[in-house]
Structure formats: structure tokens, C-alpha cells
Amino acid sequence: MRCIITVAALLLSCAALQAAAATYDYKKLLQMSLLFYEAQRSGKLPSDQKVKWRHDSALNDKGIHGEDLTGGYYDAGDFVKFNFPMAFSTTLLAWSVLDHKKGYEKANALEDGRKAVKWATDYFLKCHVSEFELYGQVGEGTVDHIYWTLPEDMPYKRNAFMITAKAPGSDLAAETAAAMAASYLVFKDVDSKYASTLLTHAKQLMNFAVKYLGKYSDSIADANKFYMSSSYQDELVWGAAWLYRATKDKSYLDIINKYWPVIMYWDGFDWDNKKSGAEVILYMTTRDDKYRERVKSYCDNTFFKTPKTPKGLLLTNAGGNLRSNANAMLVCSEAANLGIEASSYRPLIKQQVGYYVGDTGFSYVVGFGNKYPRYAHHRSSSCPDHPAKCGWDFFNSNTPNHHIVDGALVGGPNASDYYFDTRKDATHNEVTCDNNAGYHGVLVNLIELEG
């Protein structure tokens, strides 16, 4: 009897664990997330575009001297190309393709993953017009946010803004260098010529970042209102970490050793804080236990000391919580892959993703499941097709969005698990490229782990 009870108890324990961490179709979710990035494309759309309700837009995006700046991704529900968070999203996309090729192949999504990365890097190559000149923004939030319309119908001139030696942006230059270095690793065995070009620009941009110190948002005034940078030291470490991984050039370790002590206790990971993500890359490439200890401290604090909503979502940020939660889950997923508390972290990561996609009876991923956001704060999917008009009257109406922006992760519920599906709440219902970036990487981890 004692053996039977023990086995029964074990079975009940396993059943309870499975109930607490339900498995979802992560392959479909990854495919949908790639569709979201298609929906965010700016410029001339390719013939193989899957999101058919989007069309060519912003074909006149030009630099100060007439440079072609078409392409790239719209930032969020608006149509500004904020290169700082775009570069961060690109680095994470490239990271996921680089280290989780098997997961992409299982989801039949590897080619689409590479295309998502290249859509951004093609644009960044256009933006880096000379060694110490990098465009960092096209369009202005202060102007763009006056209108609620389709990207094909933008009624205003889009100005472009750059960083230079006299108006530096170490954070922007280093983050773009990270994106290009990570993308070099993605493409070096696929298209060596293209990869070599990316690496050349990555090296130049990292040199730019180190030689002319300063925050990009002090140089680009409009960015200061929407994506104000708090520091540049973390991007210097992050960019150097990726370049060290790409080249094994020890000069990048010199940069890291200079700036990592400055940021050592700045734990976190998002578009404005690269510290904990950088430490994962550094532990991967150096196996130095000081990085392991900081990553473990970050993940332990996240999982075991962070307050939760009543239904179990870790409250990693007061507003737009799913983005910061997903970024933390990415860091801890990659930490687990490096042998850091894998058996403890992985079930908890799976539980958090379950909250995003349906454990509460509601999916915060647009288009997934039976109940999901119908009023995402997202202009292009909300507006009706031509010849119907869009505008603030539609924004304020009770009409659901006309198109489904498949795969987009909204900001999510508040600390009490309360969520109201309305276009009027950008904090909890806007979708952004960097909302999806960390979440996207966690999905491909789960695909590999679920076999």
C-alpha cells in the first residue's frame, strides 16, 4: 500500500504541475509573431508578403541629404521609425535565429525568421551613411500622434534625424552595432558577402560609440520624448559583447572590462537596459563566473522575490507588464540553456507564457485562441480599407479593429489582472516591435524544449 500511495501521489503531483503549466501550440505562436513583424514593415513590400491588408508606405523617407531611408519597421501602433528600440528588437530576433535554428526549423519558420532580421538590417545599412553618421529616427512622434490613419495615407512630411561626432549617441550606435554583429552570425553561413558587410558596419559603429560618448536622446530631441535613454554604458557592454562573440577580438573585452563595473548592479533587460542580457552573452563566451552570478541573481529575484498578480503573472513593470515580463523570461531561458538552474526556471517560464496566451481564459496575443484583443491600439490594423476613411471618430468608436494583427502581444493587464480591451488605453493595449521581441525568443526556446 505504501508504494501504491507513493506512486499515486507522484501521479497527482505531475498532473498538478501539468495543469499549472499548460502546453500551447508554440509553433503557431512563433509563426504568428513573424506575421506581426510583417505587419510592421515600412517601405516597398515584397511579393511574398503574407499580411495582405498592408501595402507600400513611406516610400519617400529620405535623409537630410536625400539618402534613401525607406524600409525598416514602424515602432508600434504609430508610424515613426525609432531606430533605438528597433535595433534592440533586431538584436533579439537575430539572437533567436542564431541560437535556436532547430526551433525555427520545427516551426517551418527559419526562412521567415531570417527575412524578419534582414528587413531591419537592410534599413540600418542605409542609415549608416558614413563612419560617424548614423540616422536614428524617421518621422516625429509629436507630429505622427496627431493622426489616426493608415500608413499608406500619412499626410505629413517625415523628417529624419541623425547622430554625429558633434551630436553623439553611444547607446544608439552600440545597439545598432549589436544588431549587425548578431545578424552577421545569422548570415555568415548563408550569405557570406552580406554578412561581411554587416560586420564591417558593426565594427565601425562600435568604434563610433566608444570614441564619441553621449546619449542619443540628448542629440535627437523628439526621441527624448518617447524613448529617452537613461545611460549608454550598458549598450557599450552589450554591443562589445556581441562583437566579441562575432570576432573573438580581445579589444572588445577591454571595453567590457571598462564599463561592466559601472553597470554591475543595474540588473534588468529591455530597450533601455541591456545589462542582464549582455551578461548572458558574456557568460556564454567567457564562462567567467562573475557573469553567471549576476544572471542567477537577476533570475532568482525575478522568480522568487517579484510580486505576482492574483492569477500568477510576475509584476516586472507597472505598465505594459507583458513586455518586461517576456524580456525577463528570455534572459532566464537563455540562462537555463547555459546550465543555470534549468530545472527550477523552465517550469516557471512556461507558466508565465501560459498566462500570456490563455491560462486565464483570455489570450493577450492578438489572433490566438477564442478570446483575444479586438481593439488593439494599432492604427494600420484598426482602420478600414480604402475608400473608407479612418480618423479619431473611428478611434473613439465601439467598432472592433477591421484587421487582425496576428501574433501581436499587447501590454497586458494591471496588477489586479484587470484588462479592458480598448484602443484608448495605449499602456495596456498597444502593440510594439519590442513587446514581441523577448516573447518571440522565449517561444522558440519552448518549441525546442517541448520536442
The whole-angstrom separation of Cα 226 and Cα 178 is: 22
Q: What is the pLDDT of residues 370-401, one digit of tens each?
A: 999 999 999 999 999 988 889 999 999 999 99
**What is residue 451's predicted lDDT score, i.e. its pLDDT?**
63
**What is residue 28's predicted lDDT score, i.e. its pLDDT?**
98
Task: Catalytic residue, from 417, 421, 425, 450: name it.
Answer: 421
**What is residue 426's predicted lDDT score, i.e. its pLDDT?**
95
Please state the φ and ψ torsions of residue 314, each to the nearest 5 degrees: -65, 130
Give Cβ neighbours of residue 14 (< 8 Å, ≥ 6 apart): none
Task: Catalytic residue, from 99, 272, 430, 448: name it.
Answer: 430
The whole-angstrom separation of Cα 375 and Cα 401 is: 5
Active site residue 430: yes
C-alpha dist (Å) from residue 440 to 95, 269, 278, 313, 426: 10, 15, 18, 18, 21
Q: Residue 264 — pLDDT band, cuts 50, 70, 90?
A: very high
Give kind and range of the element (H or E) at residue 82.
strand 81-82
Q: Residue 317 — pLDDT band, cuts 50, 70, 90?
A: confident
> Rounded mean pLDDT of 94-107?
98
The mean of the pLDDT values for the chain is 94
The whole-angstrom separation of Cα 70 and Cα 123 is: 7
Q: What is the pLDDT of residues 39-89, one digit of tens each?
A: 999 999 999 999 999 999 999 999 999 999 999 999 999 999 999 999 999
Active site residue 78: yes
**What is residue 21's predicted lDDT score, i.e. its pLDDT?**
74
Q: What is the pLDDT of residues 280-304, one digit of tens each?
A: 999 999 999 999 999 999 999 999 9
The whole-angstrom separation of Cα 343 and Cα 284 is: 19
Task: Catalytic residue, from 78, 171, 222, 234: name it.
Answer: 78
**What is residue 130's predicted lDDT score, i.e. its pLDDT?**
98
Percent residues over pLDDT 90 in the chain:
92
Active site residue 377: yes
The whole-angstrom separation of Cα 136 and Cα 143 is: 17
C-alpha dist (Å) from residue 308 to 54, 417, 421: 38, 10, 21
Looking at the predicted structure, is the pLDDT value of residue 427 above 70? yes
The whole-angstrom separation of Cα 107 and Cα 444 is: 9
The whole-angstrom separation of Cα 167 and Cα 169 is: 7
Active site residue 99: no
Task: Catalytic residue, from 201, 377, 428, 440: name it.
Answer: 377
**What is residue 182's predicted lDDT score, i.e. its pLDDT?**
99
The CATH fold of domain 23-38+57-450: Glycosyltransferase (1.50.10)
C-alpha dist (Å) from residue 384 to 54, 137, 149: 11, 28, 9
Peptide bond into 387 cis (omega under 30): yes
Give the number of C-alpha atoms closer than 13 A to the C-alpha of residue 113, restricted to the C-beta side. Answer: 31
**What is residue 292's predicted lDDT score, i.e. its pLDDT?**
98
Q: What is the pLDDT of residues 26-36, one digit of tens each?
A: 999 999 999 99
Q: What is the DSSP letter of 399?
A: P
> Rounded mean pLDDT of 342-363?
98
Percent residues over pLDDT 70 in the chain:
95
CB atoms within 10 A of CB 110: 17
Q: CA nearest 411: which of 399, 422, 427, 398? A: 427
Q: Residue 20 — pLDDT band, cuts 50, 70, 90?
A: low
